[in-house]
Structure 1
Amino acid sequence: MEITYRLATEADLIDIVQMLADDKLGARREKFHVPLPDSYGQAFKIIAADPHQELTVAVLNGEIVGTFQLTFIQYLTYQGGIRAQIEAVRVKSTYRNKGIGRQFFLYAIDRARSKGAHLIQLTTDKERPEARRFYESLGFSASHEGMKLQLK
């Protein structure tokens, strides 16, 4: 399978949001209908304008089969290091369990290295134990205990 990667365009939003909504957790938080709510277009414009954000789509035979967002965080620790955060990783449901997610991550890890990141991190919902096993198979470790505070 020859997957190509490119930065998402606004025209890709319907495919991206549909993938984000296509699982039990995503269905609770996303609002997928056409036309999309304006909030998705507004968010896309902010992401696309930020040089520290990369919203990427994976394309196979002309079809978008996945997406992920990389954020590059500059900080003072690690002697002014850069940390990459990967979020919103989704594979189109008809392509799941075919090794595409592994290819996404290998690409994202290489992309983070090429941008000078010394570390790539992610969070995973506790309701997704299979995702945690997948991330561990890629070499990720649960080195920290994360916490969140819902503001809305």
Structure 2
Amino acid sequence: MITFRAASAKDLNDIVQMLADDELGSTRERYETPLPESYIKAFEAIDADPNNELIVACLGEEVVGVQQLTFTPYITHQGSWRATIEGVRTAASVRGQGIGSQLIEWAIERAKERGCRMIQLTTDKKRTDALRFYERLGFQATHEGLKMKL
């Protein structure tokens, strides 16, 4: 049975390993021992922010999935809140077992609990399987997203 909880600092190694364990992640993450200080500082900032939640999926005591939720108030949509899902990953050992779907379904319910009227995410255009996955869960590609690396 999969359970969900807020990530703790002791989960960081598992989280970064999952983020680095794919074609795109391996080029932008640094999974090494010890972890770079930037990951620790980012975790501390997320943990201290009431509008950010880093959530892990656990199979028993093993961390097998992760996602970050950010809750943002907007003037648009009549001053409503929305949730943004980022950094969704499952451990390679459990891919294809429905854990990713459970993570997203959990995030949708959490967004509803927080009073959000919309939930959004982005996925790299190179992740065609991820795009199909999110569409299967009810997400629609209604906007063209743009990013700029700084």
TM-score tier, shorter chain, comes to: over 0.9
* 2:66 corresponds to: 67
| Residue ranges of structure 2 left out of the alignment (5+ in a row) | none
- TM-fit CA distance, 1:150: 1.2
Q: 1:107 & 1:56 partners in 2: Cα distance?
A: 10
Q: List gaps (5 residues or longer) in structure 1.
A: none
1:90 pairs with 2:89:
yes
2:5 match: 6
The runs of 4+ residues in structure 1 deviating greater than 2 Å are: none
Counterparts of 1:126 and 1:108, CA distance in 2: 22
CA distance in 1 between counterparts of 2:74 and 2:32 reads 38
SS in 2 for 1:127: coil
Deviations 1:86-129 (A, max 9, x none): 00000000000111111111111001110001111000101110
SS at match of 2:54: strand
TM-score (norm 1): 0.97
Measured in 2, the distance between the counterparts of 1:53 and 1:150 equals 22
Q: Distance in 1 between matches of 2:71 and 2:144?
A: 21
State, as a whole percentage, how many aligned pairs show the same letter: 56
Q: TM-score, normalization: structure 2?
A: 0.98
AA aligned opposite 1:63: E
What is the rounded CA distance, in whole Å, between the counterparts of 1:11 and 1:146 in structure 2? Answer: 33
Deviations 1:55-89 (A, max 9, x none): 00011121100000000011111111001000000
Q: Does 1:123 align with 2:122?
A: yes
Q: Whole-Å Cα distance in 2 between the matches of residues 75 and 134 of structure 1? A: 27
Where 1:104 maps in the other structure, the secondary structure is helix
